[in-house]
Amino acid sequence: MLLLEANMANNKIIDFLRSLKITYTVYNFFNKSKLHHNKKPYLKFGIKKPLYKGISSRNFSSLNANDTPWLDNEISFNEIKQKLDNTSFSEEVKTAILQWKENGYIVLNNFISHDKVLAINNEIENLLSEKKVKFTLGNKIMFANKQSKLISNLIADEKITEILSFVLGKKVLPFQTINFITGSQQHAHSDSIHMTTYPLGYLIAIWIALEDINETNGPLSYYPGSHKLPYVLNNNYERGGNVFTVGADSNYLKYEAKIEEQIRKMNLKKIIFTPKTGDILIWHANLIHGGEKILEKKSTRKSMVVHYFAEDVIKYHEITERPALLK
């Protein structure tokens, strides 16, 4: 009982520290080398604050970068087709990219070989047993790419990054991996509240099926076309916070409610992703997605998400107003 109370008190202290802007500023100050990526874009957009200080959409409200990923602009199907004709992508990839503008996602079947999938699954098992990675934020294994050459090489493979860079119209850099052994059951959201860019839209993610997924083991789901909705940022819901704090973690429920409201109002259709091993889904920075309920208890849902930022844009986390740390 005493241990439980001590744990609860500990968690409260951690939550309190996580809500303070100064905590991040101090942490960032000692990690300045990982903030250099923002130096050029700060200069370009006239952001006059130290790289280690907090940053959020509030800092950009008077700016007009006039820069949107090219496929989000007014552009005809034929223009996209012409650009694709000048690439060496396979016909399957070209056909898939033609759907991006309308849908905000792409599915590529059998894109990662079964040998590579097996290697990733073994690597994650080894990293877990060697305690080099652990489960955080529920059931997420964050940043396995920092512990594994195999994973960091795989996610930087040109076969993947060339497609992502083409779609964004800027070169991409891997930011993080998230590995799942079981379904996330995460409520619907857009990645742009968690990993944000200025100008908006310069994040892109891939989701790799590391085993066959079905309707019962908590599959990923997503809402085609939702990427075209206005981005929901801190000033679009009751984020809370003030000059000293970024607001309580519990306010995230209000963000989720806002996204649910968008889904309801726009009558968005949900698609449940039931891929085979090695299939991948690529999604837009603002595509609404989440994890379905796990219907079959104890089932696994092995998968890996990789988030990539484009170069030469400001990279940060809107919700916690932190610049992104990136080597």
Ligand X SMILES: O=C(O)CCC(=O)C(=O)O
Query: Closest separation between CB of residue 198 and ligand X, Å?
Result: 20
Query: Closest separation between CB of residue 39 and ligand X, Å?
Result: 27
Q: By CB under 6 A, name the one of 220, 285, 287, 288 that touches ligand X.
A: 220
Residues 123-182 that bind ligand X (CB under 6 A): 178, 180
- Is residue 327 within 8 A of residue 235, CB to CB? The reply is no
Q: Which is nearer to ligand X, 28 or 310 (CB)?
A: 310
Query: What is the distance between the alpha carbons of residues 92 and 138, in angstroms, rounded to a whole number?
Result: 36
Query: Closest separation between CB of residue 62 and ligand X, Å?
Result: 30
Pairing mode, strands 196-198 and 314-317 = antiparallel
Helices (H), 134-251: 149-155, 158-168
273 is an interface residue for ligand X by CB under 6 A: no
303 is an interface residue for ligand X by CB under 6 A: yes
291 is an interface residue for ligand X by CB under 6 A: yes
Query: Closest separation between CB of residue 178 and ligand X, Å?
Result: 5
Cα angle value 244/250/254 (rounded, 5°): 100
Which pair of structure tokens corresponds to residue 295? 């219907």
Which strands form 303-310's sheet, in the order they lie side by side? Answer: 105-108, 280-284, 203-209, 303-310, 172-180, 140-142, 135-136
Query: Closest separation between CB of residue 209 and ligand X, Å?
Result: 10
Q: Which is nearer to ligand X, 22 or 272 (CB)?
A: 272
Residues 171-210 that bind ligand X (CB under 6 A): 178, 180, 183-184, 186, 191
Which strands form 271-273's sheet, in the order they lie side by side? Answer: 271-273, 220-222, 289-291
279 is an interface residue for ligand X by CB under 6 A: no
Q: By CB under 6 A, name the one of 154, 233, 305, 324 that touches ligand X.
A: 305
Query: What is the distance between the alpha carbons of residues 110 and 280, in angstroms, rounded to a whole number?
Result: 8
Residues at the contact surface with ligand X, assessed by CB under 6 A: 178, 180, 183-184, 186, 191, 220, 289, 291, 303, 305
